[in-house]
A and B are shown apart, each in its own frame.
Chain A
Amino acid sequence: MQALYAQLLVGLINGSFYALLSLGLAVIFGMLNIINFAHGALYMMGAFVAYFLLNLGGINYWWALIIAPVVVGVFGMILERTMLQWLAGLDHLYGLLLTFGIALIVQGVFQNYFGSSGLPYSIPDQLKGGMNLGFMFLPIYRGWVVIFSLVVCIATWFLIEKTQLGAYLRAATENPTLVRAFGINVPRMITLTYGLGVGLAALAGVLSAPINQVRPLMGADLIIVVFAVVVIGGMGSIMGSIITGFALGVIEGLTKYFYPEASNTVVFVLMVLVLLVKPTGLTGRAA
């Protein structure tokens, strides 16, 4: 039983990263109509910013949780202003190729300087150790990642579904021309949305640094699964991408316990099944 709970926890942790990343992808896709292949690279950059802050500036994990998403968000907004904005109205393929190219360049630069092995990033003192829940031993840091990710996901959902700013965002996703004709600076909103989406990826990167180490290819490995998550959940829905993210993490964890051989492929098998039955994804709308 212990092993089952342990795998469930691993599943929830992976699910947290899937949810944070697919949430950002969904928001970006809605507003920019771009499938952001650079997402994994920006997740990796988030972890590296945390690493630099600690090792070059002595700035701790807690500040990194705020600073890294802002730094990477600004980097993303520069990408959007200088490159992505010119793709508006073009076929998805262009956005895919451009962001894939950006991902390769960013990863290449980091690999050039840091190789492929992992750099250590230690768990902050306040979150070290663990607690015995009776049925299992819970490392505190891992519990924190799950709960904090859940809070961030729900806060993002609230921002988009329940606030005036979110209403602008949803309306601009539907009809940007009309929203602009009401006096809202839609191009600026698109830039900020891209910043928000990649900021969420960077936040996931910081959260993952103490668990998975900091590696130039950490995002490249993760993003493939995340895209499968997004395909399964469908691009259209914020809540859908959160729930699918966590659910697939758990399904992966359970598979590791019951049939470990399939744990790396279960997500992709599910993806194929969903595509056969409902090509727009479980919660998606037709493109």
Chain B
Amino acid sequence: MAEAKLAEAPAAAAGAEVLAVKDLQAWYGESHILHGINFNVRAGEVVTLLGRNGAGKTTTLKSVMGIIGKRSGSIRFDNQEIIRASSDRIARKGIAFCPEERGIFSSLDVKENLMLPPVVRSGGLSLEQIFTLFPNLKERLSSQGTKLSGGEQQMLAIARILRTGARFLMLDEPTEGLAPVIIQQIGHTIARLKSEGFTILLVEQNFRFASTVADRYYIVEHGKVIDGFSNSELSANMDKLHTYLGV
């Protein structure tokens, strides 16, 4: 069905395939969450996973990151199979993860939070470049990490993975619970990162936000990818999308 079509989904940016996920299944304890996820991401693309709450989007990101203990199928990153790798080894291959809950550490100050993820390869952003993107952070370096506002915490969570040299970023709902002006700033940041060649896999509930940054979309429902289309096909697919997302 849809899967065959997805494999040939048109690419907006015609880079090489960086991530290829095939028949990914995942479990939390006894509950079977992902029932065969198929999608791919090419170099330089922003790909967005859309879907309702509980559809399996976050679990998909966590499975790619190696955080979900029980998973099967195939996840190939840079042509290497990583389905069995531990999450620290996956990170070292150049995948960086920004979790939905942001994961700012309360026992670390802002500077320590920023410097926490180790550099996995050269080519990461310098502190100076990071402060150009997120000037607010520079003012708050010695504050406790969790004393920042929600927006600042989100920026810190994105900023710290830009230092590492990873070129493949997974952002889980970066706009959740933030004010429109901050959402806009995060949108600019993602566009900027894309223009600098980062590849981004985004999970979003906020479809309007996603449409401003994404090249391609996949729809996740009940632990499966049920559809996919590129940004240029968006208007033709609006009706379907409203049905999928129930908006």
| Residues of B bordering A, CB below 8 Å | 65-67, 86-88, 90-92, 96-97, 99, 103, 105-108, 112, 115-118, 120, 161, 164
Contacts and interface: CB of A to CB of B under 8 A. Distances in A.
Interface residues of A, number: 18
Contacts of B161: 182
Interface of A: 164, 167-168, 170-171, 173-175, 177-186
A170 B87 contact: no
- Chief secondary structure at chain B's binding surface: loop
10 closest residue pairs by CB, A with B: A183-B91, A182-B117, A170-B107, A178-B103, A181-B87, A167-B112, A171-B105, A183-B92, A180-B88, A180-B87
Nearest to A160: B107
B108 A164 contact: no
Given A170-B105, A171-B105, A181 B116 contact: no
Contacts of A182: 88, 91, 96-97, 116-118, 161, 164
Contact of A175 (B90, B92, B105): B105
A167 B118 contact: no
Contact of B65 (A168, A170, A179, A181): A181
A167 B160 CA distance: 14
A174 B107 CA distance: 8
Contacts of B108: 167, 170-171
A175 to B, nearest CB: 6
Contacts of A186: 88
Contact of B118 (A170, A177, A183): A183
- Chief secondary structure at chain A's binding surface: helix
Contacts of B91: 180-183
Contact of B86 (A168, A170, A180): A180
B88 A174 contact: no
B244 to A, nearest CB: 29
A183 B67 contact: no
A175 B108 CA distance: 12
Contact of B116 (A173, A179, A180, A185): A179
B67 A177 contact: yes
A168 B88 CA distance: 13
Given A178-B103, A181-B66, A171 B88 contact: no
Given A170-B107, A171-B116, A182-B118, 19 more contacts: A167-B108, A168-B116, A171-B108, A174-B105, A174-B106, A178-B99, A180-B67, A180-B86, A180-B87, A180-B91, A181-B67, A182-B88, A182-B91, A182-B117, A182-B161, A183-B88, A183-B92, A183-B117, A185-B88
B115 A167 contact: yes
A174 B102 CA distance: 13
Given A171-B108, A181-B97, A164 B115 contact: yes
10 contacts: A167-B116, A174-B105, A175-B103, A180-B91, A181-B66, A181-B88, A181-B97, A182-B91, A182-B117, A183-B117
A168 B107 CA distance: 11
B191 to A, nearest CB: 25
A178 B103 CA distance: 7
A26 to B, nearest CB: 13
A175 B222 CA distance: 28
B107 A171 contact: yes
Contacts of B88: 180-186
A69 B158 CA distance: 41
B170 to A, nearest CB: 10
Contacts of B118: 182-184
B120 A183 contact: yes
A171 B67 CA distance: 17
